[in-house]
Amino acid sequence: MRPAIEVRQAARAYRVGETEVVALRGVSLTLHRGEHLAVVGPSGSGKSTLLQLLGGLDRPTAGSVLLDGRDTATLSQAELARIRNRVIGFVFQGFHLQPRASALDNVALPLVYGGVRRAERRRRAADMLDRVGLGHRARHLPGQLSGGEQQRVAVARALVTEPAVLLADEPTGNLDSATGERLLDLLADLNAEHRVALAIVTHDHEVAARARRQIVMRDGRIVSDSRTVSGNGNGNGSDSGNGNGNVSGSGSGSGNAQHATAGPDRSGQGRA
């Protein structure tokens, strides 16, 4: 099956005045439906930059990113926005909710861009708010909700389009541990039931430990790409790494004994 997202030797440099900051130095990564990936690494290692490329919010300065098989470099802004709307759900580090719109309207917003009719939008947004346990808060404004509730609104908004991939940047960063745990349970359910691919940037060891695949970034590179040995597979046939695979990352130290190193690209294309 075609990967949901494929990143090939992507680099991203930012120009700041006279100097160039290289945030990513040739990163390759393939993400399939049903995967559950955690992205870890020190601050400044390029995690957020990578997530933005994965989501088509940004484009690489070298290399390529394919969303649902389409190279983001060849797409117009409008085409890219359309594919992003269809394929990707994004949960940002801040929640980025519209302060003057109700929880329901915030969740329904991506469906407006997707051209869904109003009645259908409201029905689907209400369903999704129920899924995240916020059906009773539909009419509240973001400012009337707790941090954890706002985060769940952001998750509902990311999922209402039924994306193939959910990308989340430090989704539990602002939550107390119980609320964070519930959010992770929800994401795990969606991953298991709907095979939504999850790619979660996190500092939190527990968040990383729940993922079946973990990549470690350092200084703009992926230094380790590993999968759980005992992983609770969910029927995704491609998710069976057993640790004696083709190491192409140079480093090893994810520090997580549950993860065994395997090749980052299991589609075989990179090895032909």
Ligand X SMILES: Nc1ncnc2c1ncn2[C@@H]1O[C@H](COP(=O)(O)OP(=O)(O)O)[C@@H](O)[C@H]1O
Strand order in the sheet with 221-228: 88-91, 165-169, 197-201, 36-40, 213-218, 221-228, 259-261
Smaller CB separation from ligand X, 236 or 254: 254
What is the nearest approach in angstroms of Mg ion to the Cβ of residue 231? 26
Residue 108 in contact with residue 126, Cβ under 8 Å?
no
| Residue with the two structure tokens 């290399």 | 63
List the beta bridge partners of residue 149: none
**From the list 17, 18, 43, 78, which residue makes contact with ligand X (rule: CB under 6 A)?**
43
What string marks each residue from 1 to 40 as x (binds ligand X by CB under 6 A) or -?
-------------x-x----x-x-----------------
Q: Which does 1 bind (CB under 5 to 8 A by kind): ligand X, Mg ion, none?
A: none
Shortest approach of Mg ion to residue 47 CB, angstroms?
Answer: 5
Per CB under 5 A, the list member of 48, 150, 161, 191 interacting with Mg ion is 48
| Overall residue count recorded for the chain in this entry | 272
Burial class of residue 222 (count of CB atoms within 10 Å of its CB; 0-12, 13-18, 19+): buried
- Interaction pattern, residues 48-77, with ligand X; x per rule: CB under 6 A: xx----------------------------
- Quick one: how far is CA 113 from the chain centroid? 20
Residue 195 CB coordination number (10 Å):
16
241: Cβ contacts below 8 Å, ≥ 6 apart? 213, 226, 227, 260, 262, 266
- 47 binds ligand X, rule: CB under 6 A: yes
Residue 45 interacting with ligand X (CB under 6 A): yes
Nearer to ligand X, 95 or 236 (CB): 95
- Nearer to ligand X by Cβ, of 58 and 181: the residue is 58
Q: DSSP states of 90-111 as a string?
A: EE-SS----TTS-HHHHHHHHH
Comparing CB distances to ligand X, the nearer of 53 and 154 is 53
Q: Would you count residue 46 as binding ligand X (CB under 6 A)? A: yes
- Compute the least distance from the CB of residue 44 to ligand X, in Å: 4
Q: Which residues bind Mg ion (CB under 5 A)?
A: 48
